[in-house]
Amino acid sequence: MADSVTVVGAGPAGSFSAYLLAKRGLDVQVFEEHATIGEPVACTGVITGDILSRRLQLPKELIVNRIAKARIIAPGMELIEIKLKNDIIIDRAGFDRHIAAMAREAGARFFVNHRFEGFEHNNQRIVAAVKDKEKNEIKKIETTYLIGADGPISTVAKAAGLFGSREFYTGIQATIRFANDNAIDFYPSEDGIAWVVPENERIARVGIAARREASSYFRRFITAVAGEGYEKRIIGWQAGPIPLYSPRLKSATKDGKILLAGDAAAMVKATTLGGINQSLMAAEAAAESITKDYGYEMLWKKRMGRDLWLSLLMRKAMERFSNKDYDKLVGVFRKKKNRQLLEEYDRDEPTRFALKLLLGEPRLLMLARKVLF
């Protein structure tokens, strides 16, 4: 019997894997538990364009905004401004549907309203149990490979014994009518990270991500930036768990037949908690691993392992920062030479600038000691 691939989840990791594998001639089917691909949205949709544009051509209508400037605002309200080269805000639901359409065109079959529930083995084959939610019946799907691209609470990871022990942030965001100057504002603090990301000069995505007490932090933050009565100006909500990367997690079974990609494997950059680009890189590694029989973990770690690990170290240090430390950190970037490093390099690739920054700036070394002690 020819090799077949079953993908669970039609987010960027799942649909991009399906696209790459179908393009290489494999028999691919994708199961998505929701009725509409891309919905509900749990994302701000900020992407640095370089990694994305090397992989995908986005239709213009999916780019909601292009941003040329960000501010990082310390708890004491000192701020720095950074020029952005290639940051875009996407229509996240449209983005997911676009990649799914590419995969369909390449020959992958999609089944919405189908929830993966578990699997068993039959000789060398995997037999996945998928529930057709409309008909309320379980289908048995025989497959050679199973890709778990089913997001942070991955059922595939749990069923394959790969879930391990994971840590999460909770992300809460509202899209709100809010006059702004079309710059992204980031607010790092003891409470977590908060942001204002404009769709245009009248509408912004305002949110927070926190380890604990996310709802009260969100209410405090949105009241502070948008004012009392903000509720009446809310257009939509987006929320969800965000996994913290862990180098200890396994992303594939020993036989290499079950792979986890994207949030399902906690491939999220812990500094900014972004994972869209990472899910695309994971999909590439999954497709290469399946078609060329290379080790999956080695392939994705080569692309982004060091960056994910370094981002995690930075996040762990920041979790021990007091608000005064954040003030000092922002102070460090008031120096033009330090700010230029942030402007020059892609946030997804901190290994390219972190060492330069640390060695050139003794105050950062003092703050970084929090990782060590």
Distances (CA, A) of 349 to 156, 310, 343: 28, 9, 12
297 burial (CB, 10 Å; 0-12 / 13-18 / 19+) is middle
List, edge to edge, every strand of the sheet that includes 109-111: 109-111, 27-31, 4-8, 145-148, 258-260
Q: List contacts with ligand FAD (CB under 6 A).
A: 8-14, 31-34, 42-47, 115-116, 149-151, 155, 171, 173, 207, 238-240, 242, 262-264, 268, 274-276, 279
Distances (CA, A) of 181 to 70, 202, 232: 11, 9, 21
Structure-token pair, residue 62? 């999916």
The span from the CA of 170 to the CA of 208, in Å, is: 8
Question: How many CB atoms lie under 10 A from the CB of residue 334?
Answer: 11
Structure-token pair, residue 131? 């529930």
Strands 168-177 and 145-148: unpaired
The span from the CA of 224 to the CA of 228, in Å, is: 8
